[in-house]
């Protein structure tokens, strides 16, 4: 067999492996989410199907395969079928570029499916392709609620994509590369980016919650407002594919946060003093970090109420966007003038922390941007005293 | 990866289409509208939507192009300082003018 064929086969194998791993994670993620939500509300989650409910995801999967696949009469047949496939395809593909370890650490093979120099851009592009899946699904259903949900979700996702794209610019300026491996290795030397970019991380976290349609930003599928949004007319496996895409996007967002801000597949170096080499354990650290962020997603879901739609858009455009630009210019200023003046990276960390604190301190004033509908200021005339003159 | 990912989607849809029961009826295939007959449904009927969605999409295009210009600058930034800082500042300030205009025009108010 020629070399390229072997390489192609290995890549294919890894792709299948990653896809299956993601799907399994998705299945068990639903279980874990239900269990955790239950624990947070002082009740038991699913615990009947199998020991501790461990077979529940399997039962759900089998059920959704054997369900009747309806197609509403007014639906656009082709697009209706295509939309969930686009959603899941883009979601799964986006994950393939994230490295799970240094080169050759997966039984001699590289632990990633594809490695691009512009890996970060490719990932952002693929995740934003997910908008197409959702919007086309909503549009093709030919019914009111789905169209409304689709419109909402497309407006929301493109708005927060800006925040997402802009908030990582500071990190990119520091590191000077879009390649995930370079990003991780830079952090292994200089320390986790979150130490210097906590402001950017907060914005990125916020945007990624909105980007994957999770509470408190899950307006496209707000059950109490517009039934199930773009999912209203979907049944059986197509519905499951949309759910899958949402959860896979969540996993990808977690992995992205871990890779960009938390050292990716490298653990904290100071632990090396306890157990030598612990920071370099392949894959385990990435999984731990992803699990932490997934837990955060669930925790937030159990904690925060949903935003109203106008609040959501205002938050995205009036807070996240200018704050991300500010952060970018802050890093630019630091690199251009303060670093040559001999101030270390810690100073940037302090600056960034100050930005975050400033945001918190101003929170009442900031919140007014997105919670109160900005009424035109009408000067209140003092009432004329009765009688008098 | 794309091949595998899309393949999984297609496979799932096909398997489900083969295995699932097929007993469609008129009532089942009606669009959901709390049990009423759907009004103004259907793809391509001229429903009307707030212009806000359109405006947001346009703003997104503008600012996303800005982001696209910013990426190369960010990656090459350390080689171009301090010159690049002023370039970036000018660019951001120009955009800020547009942003303030949009704010003052109250395009971003969804009331």
Q: Count the helix, strand and coil residues of chain B and give each as a percent rounded to the nearest 5.
A: 60, 0, 40
Contacts of A237 (CB under 8 A, 6+ apart): A64, A65, A67, A69, B12, B13, B15, B16
| pLDDT on residue A384 | 61
Q: Looking at residues A182-189, what average pLDDT do you find?
A: 81
CB contact residues (below 8 A), chain A span 319-338, against chain B: 321-322, 325, 328-329, 332-333, 335-337
B chain contacts of residue A227, beta-carbon cutoff 8 Å: 32
| pLDDT on residue A388 | 47
Give the model confidence (pLDDT) of A274-321 as tens digits: 666 666 676 788 888 888 988 988 888 888 888 877 788 888 888 888
Q: What is the DSSP track for A224-261?
A: HHHTTGGGTT--HHHHHHHHHHHHHHHHHHHHHHHHHH
Q: Rounded distance, CA A266 to CA A282, Å?
A: 8
| A224 in contact with B, Cβ within 8 Å | no
Which of B6, B32, B78 comes nearest A176 by C-beta?
B78
| pLDDT on residue A378 | 63
CB contact residues (below 8 A), chain A span 54-93, against chain B: 64-76, 81, 84-86, 88-93
Residue A174: pLDDT band (50, 70, 90) is: confident
CA distance to partner chain B, nearest, from residue A263 (Å) = 19
- Determine, for residues A67 and B16 on separate chains, whether the beta-carbon distance falls below 8 Å: yes
* Token reading at A281: 């354990």
pLDDT at A273 over 70: no
Q: Rounded distance, CA A151 to CA A158, Å?
A: 11
Q: Under a CB-based contact definition with an 8 Å cutoff, are residues A47 and A16 in contact?
A: no
| pLDDT on residue B111 | 56
Q: Under a CB-based contact definition with an 8 Å cutoff, are residues A112 and A98 in contact?
A: yes
A chain contacts of residue B60, beta-carbon cutoff 8 Å: 158-159, 161-162
Out of A104-113, A123-132, A245-254, B35-44, pick the least confident: B35-44
Residue A164: pLDDT band (50, 70, 90) is: confident
Tell which phi-psi region holds residue A99, choosing left (phi > 0), alpha (psi between -120 and 50) or beta.
beta
Mean of the per-residue pLDDT values for chain A? Answer: 79
Q: What are the helix (H) ranges across chain A?
A: 3-40, 56-66, 77-95, 119-140, 144-167, 169-175, 180-190, 193-196, 198-211, 223-226, 236-261, 284-303, 309-314, 321-333, 345-361, 363-370
| pLDDT on residue A114 | 75
Q: Rounded distance, CA B15 to CA B11, Å?
A: 6
- Determine, for residues B32 and A232 on separate chains, whether the beta-carbon distance falls below 8 Å: yes
Q: Under a CB-based contact definition with an 8 Å cutoff, are residues A130 and A90 in contact?
A: yes
Q: Looking at residues A28-51, what average pLDDT do you find?
A: 87
pLDDT at A51 over 50: yes
CB contact residues (below 8 A), chain A span 4-33, against chain B: 11-12, 15-16, 18-19, 23
Q: Rounded distance, CA A319 to CA A163, Å?
A: 9
* Token reading at A258: 């871990």
Residue A271: pLDDT band (50, 70, 90) is: low
Contacts of A169 (CB under 8 A, 6+ apart): A324, A327, A328, A331, B67, B70, B71, B74
| pLDDT on residue A279 | 64
| A102 in contact with B, Cβ within 8 Å | no
- Determine, for residues A114 and B8 on separate chains, whether the beta-carbon distance falls below 8 Å: no
- Determine, for residues A81 and B15 on separate chains, whether the beta-carbon distance falls below 8 Å: no
Q: Looking at residues B13-38, what average pLDDT do you find?
A: 71
pLDDT at B56 over 50: yes
Q: Under a CB-based contact definition with an 8 Å cutoff, are residues A304 and A216 in contact?
A: yes
| pLDDT on residue A366 | 67
Q: Rounded distance, CA A286 to CA A294, Å?
A: 12
- Please state the φ and ψ torsions of residue A216, each to the nearest 5 degrees: -85, 15
Contacts of A100 (CB under 8 A, 6+ apart): A106, A111, A112, A265, A282, A283, A286
B chain contacts of residue A93, beta-carbon cutoff 8 Å: 1-2, 5
Q: Among B11, B84, B94, which residue's Cα sits nearest to residue A89?
A: B11
| pLDDT on residue A358 | 79
CB contact residues (below 8 A), chain A span 338-357, against chain B: 340
pLDDT at A90 over 70: yes
Angle CA(A186)–CA(A190)–CA(A191) in degrees, nearest 5?
Answer: 100
Q: What is the DSSP letter of A44?
A: -
Q: Under a CB-based contact definition with an 8 Å cutoff, are residues A287 and A126 in contact?
A: no
Q: Under a CB-based contact definition with an 8 Å cutoff, are residues A332 and B73 in contact?
A: no
A chain contacts of residue B103, beta-carbon cutoff 8 Å: 318
Kindly tell me the sign of the dihedral angle through the C-alpha atoms of B1, B2, B3, B8: positive
pLDDT at A158 over 60: yes
- Determine, for residues A162 and B12 on separate chains, whether the beta-carbon distance falls below 8 Å: no
Q: Among A122, A92, A63, A73, which residue's Cα sits nearest to residue A244?
A: A92
Question: Closest-CA residue in chain B for A113?
Answer: B1
Helix axes A236-261, A119-140, angle to 10 degrees: 150
Question: Closest-CA residue in chain A for B110?
Answer: A310
| pLDDT on residue A386 | 57
Q: Among B11, B88, B9, B40, which residue's Cα sits nearest to residue A328?
A: B88
B chain contacts of residue A131, beta-carbon cutoff 8 Å: none
Residue A269: pLDDT band (50, 70, 90) is: low
pLDDT at A118 over 60: yes
Residues of chain A above pLDDT 70, percent: 84
CB contact residues (below 8 A), chain A span 294-313, against chain B: 309-310, 313
Mean of the per-residue pLDDT values for chain B? Answer: 78
């Amino acid at each position: 067999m020629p070399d390229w064929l072997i390489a192609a086969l290995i890549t294919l194998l890894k792709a299948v492996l990653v896809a299956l791993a993601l799907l399994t994670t998705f299945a068990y993620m639903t279980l874990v989410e239900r269990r955790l939500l239950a624990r947070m509300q002082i009740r038991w989650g699913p615990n009947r199907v199998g020991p501790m409910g461990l077979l529940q995801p399997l039962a759900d999967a089998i059920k959704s395969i054997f369900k009747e696949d309806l197609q509403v009469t007014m639906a656009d047949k082709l697009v209706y079928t295509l939309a969930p496939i686009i959603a899941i395809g883009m979601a799964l593909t986006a994950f393939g570029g994230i490295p799970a370890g240094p080169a050759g650490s997966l039984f001699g093979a590289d632990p990633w499916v594809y490695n691009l120099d512009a890996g970060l851009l490719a990932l952002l592009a693929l995740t934003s392709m997910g908008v197409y899946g959702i919007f086309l699904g909503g549009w093709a259903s030919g019914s009111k609620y789905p169209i409304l949900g689709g419109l909402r979700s497309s407006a929301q996702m493109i708005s927060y994509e800006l925040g997402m794209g802009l908030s990582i610019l500071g990190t990119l300026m520091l590191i000077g590369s879009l390649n995930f491996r370079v990003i991780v290795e830079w952090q292994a030397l200089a320390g986790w980016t979150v130490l210097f970019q906590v402001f950017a991380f907060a914005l990125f976290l916020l945007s990624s919650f909105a980007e994957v349609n999770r509470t408190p930003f899950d307006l496209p599928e707000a059950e109490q407002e517009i039934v199930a949004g773009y999912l209203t007319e979907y049944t059986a496996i197509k519905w499951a594919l949309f759910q899958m895409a949402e959860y896979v996007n969540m996993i990808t967002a977690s992995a992205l946060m871990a890779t960009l801000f938390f050292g990716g597949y490298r653990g904290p170096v100071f632990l090396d003093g306890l157990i030598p080499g612990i920071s370099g354990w392949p894959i385990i650290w990435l999984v731990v970090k992803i699990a932490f962020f997934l837990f955060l997603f669930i925790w937030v879901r159990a904690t925060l109420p949903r935003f109203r739609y106008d609040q959501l858009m205002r938050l995205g455009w009036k807070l996240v966007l200018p704050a991300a630009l500010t952060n970018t210019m802050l890093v630019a200023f630091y690199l251009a003038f303060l670093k040559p003046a001999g101030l270390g990276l810690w100073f940037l960390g302090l600056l960034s922390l100050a930005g975050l604190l400033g945001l918190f301190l101003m929170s009442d004033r900031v919140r007014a941007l997105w919670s109160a509908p900005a009424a035109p200021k009408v000067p209140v005339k003092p009432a004329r005293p009765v009688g008098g003159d | 990866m794309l091949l595998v990912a899309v393949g999984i989607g297609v496979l799932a849809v096909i398997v489900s289409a083969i295995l699932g029961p097929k007993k469609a009826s008129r009532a089942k295939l009606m669009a959901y509208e709390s049990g009423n007959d759907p009004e103004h449904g259907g793809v391509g009927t001229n429903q009307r939507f707030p212009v806000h969605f359109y405006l947001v999409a346009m703003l997104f295009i503008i600012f996303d192009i800005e982001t696209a210009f910013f990426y190369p600058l960010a990656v090459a930034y350390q080689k171009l300082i301090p010159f690049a800082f002023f370039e970036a500042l000018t660019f951001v300030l120009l955009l800020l003018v547009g942003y303030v205009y949009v704010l003052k025009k109250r395009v971003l108010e969804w009331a």
